[in-house]
Structure 1
Amino acid sequence: MTIPVFTVFSGHTYRPIYVERLQRMLTRHMPADHHLTVLCDAATQPAVANLGLPHCRLEERGLKGFCSKIQLFNPDLTGTTPFLYFDITLVVRSSLEPLLHFASTSKFDVIGVRDWNYPTLNSCLMHLRPGAATARVWQSYLEGENHGTPGPNQNFIYRVLQQHCPETIGFWPEGLVASYRELRKKARHDPSTAEQAHLAACVLKFHGRPRPHEVLSPWRHPSQTVLKHPFRPDLWSYLADDIHAHWC
């Protein structure tokens, strides 16, 4: 069975190479046949077409950047088959079998990462089982429900599900998806524990800065690397070897 996989490439923040490298990592580490579709806007569509990847034009609806991700819950766009979603800012470093096994045996319709900093669902890597719960998220957006968020972001998704169908929300097993920033923070004081957490993760999430290409070239991006830890050169290019091995 071929697993549908989606990613969103919207705006000008990231270069097309991020999409291309995600495709390579999925090819290496997805233990089953899969089909990656890139959801893109008008600004990024030519770049995706040049990569030769299957893509689908996002509807405008006033959705920009990360807010475009809400369209994953539109059944007219993603269909009725359960699927995976990956941010383009992920580094897949080992087999995704543990995630696939958890998703296939889970009762939850929406599975995401338990956020590292806030009591919410982080939507960087999700498994969605289209149905009443996912359709409710899309309908809530169309109806303009107010959930105290600045836009239809991951907090909006989580709060809609909490209000209407909380039993459908699940989280990946702890540690399978690790935050690069949290690992680097831990490595400042407890490098051994940080390394154990790093090796246990099959996916690294880069949120905010630095981005993977900045870690690989810290002197080109000093404000996000060197100047963050001026007296800790071991942190300037933290996990660069691992990133180079799996992301490049």
Structure 2
Amino acid sequence: MKIALVLRSGGDYNASDVQWLVNQLPKDYEIICLTDLKCLHVPGVKVVPLINQWQKCRGWWAKIELFRPDITDDLFYLDLDTVIAGDIRPILEHPPTSFTMLRDFYHPQYRGSGALWIPNSVKAHIWSSFWQDPEGWISRCVTTECWGDQGFLRKVMGDDTPAFQDLYPGWFVSYKADVVEPGSKYASARYSRGNGALPKDCRIIFFHGKPRPREVSEDWLPLISSFFERESE
């Protein structure tokens, strides 16, 4: 099992975002980063070059390479706009038994790809399904019902794909839905329901869009940094 990240060049993220997230992750697991950057060097991370060109589409489509046949490990994947707020070792030590996605934070009947548990056994099916019609998938997955790579994955794997929130209640939360107070700067008028504080049991916080973690100045962000400084001692 490996922890996997993806960094496609030309977007909002760079090597410092990879390093920032890696600093928060448990130190005793191998971490890989799939990227098209020629000179990415992040201590503790094995760089895996992307083998396809993703510059003509939205950056999230590069995540399709997580399902490549030459990457044979089970993978726990996280988006780069993720904050670790607690111990995630129980997830890594006792992972889901099948392919798992996030339940979409705004539309719970759909699935999100900010975190994925990818058993090697499902990769061939997903990989071949995409490459049978890559341009078609990219052009069709542009609606709320079927959005980007996560819409593709839901179509291929089904609406009953397990969700992390059901397997680990309270651990996976959204910054905008579960933390931000209604009416505050980054609130969604329709979906924000937080009180400004971290939910009690949360362990992973997903920003999924604007703002990025580095753009906010929440009081709990330094606490998270301190937590991982203690973990590394």
Same fold (TM over 0.5): yes
Letter in 2 for 1:16: A
Q: Does 2:89 match 1:100?
A: no
Structure 2 CA distance for aligned equivalents of residues 52 and 158 of structure 1: 32
Q: Deviations over 1:117-174 (max 9, x none)?
A: 122221111111111x321111011100756314861110111111xxx66x311134
Taking only the aligned residue pairs, the percentage that are identical comes to: 21
Q: How many residues align?
A: 204
Q: Deviations over 1:57-77 (max 9, x none)?
A: 10124465111001111122x
Q: What TM-score, normalized to structure 1?
A: 0.72
In structure 2, do the counterparts of structure 1 residues 23 and 185 end up closer, same or farther at CA, with 3 Å as the change threshold? closer
1:99 Cα deviation (Å)?
A: 2.3
* Contact preservation (8 Å) 1:141, 1:152: no
1:83 Cα deviation (Å)?
A: 1.9
The match for 1:234 is none
Task: Please give the secondary structure, in 1, of the residue aligned with 2:80.
Answer: coil
In structure 2, do the counterparts of structure 1 residues 160 and 241 end up closer, same or farther at CA, with 3 Å as the change threshold? same
Letter in 2 for 1:53: V
**How do 1:1-248 residues align onto structure 2 when only pairs under 5 Å count?**
3-12=1-10, 13-27=12-26, 33-41=28-36, 44-46=37-39, 48-49=40-41, 53-62=45-54, 64=57, 65-76=59-70, 78-79=71-72, 81-100=73-92, 102-103=94-95, 106-108=96-98, 110-118=99-107, 119-131=109-121, 133-144=122-133, 146=136, 148-150=140-142, 153-162=149-158, 169-172=161-164, 173-186=168-181, 195=197, 198-216=199-217, 240-246=218-224
Structure 2 CA distance for aligned equivalents of residues 59 and 152 of structure 1: 20
**What are structure 1's unaligned runs of at least 5 residues?**
217-239
* Contact preservation (8 Å) 2:174, 2:206: yes
**What are structure 2's unaligned runs of at least 5 residues?**
184-191, 227-233
Structure 2 CA distance for aligned equivalents of residues 200 and 177 of structure 1: 9
The answer to which structure has the higher helix fraction is 1
Structure 1 CA distance for aligned equivalents of residues 88 and 42 of structure 2: 28
In structure 2, do the counterparts of structure 1 residues 190 and 178 end up closer, same or farther at CA, with 3 Å as the change threshold? closer
Q: What TM-score, normalized to structure 2?
A: 0.76
Which structure has the larger Rg over C-alpha atoms?
1
Structure 1 CA distance for aligned equivalents of residues 194 and 87 of structure 2: 24
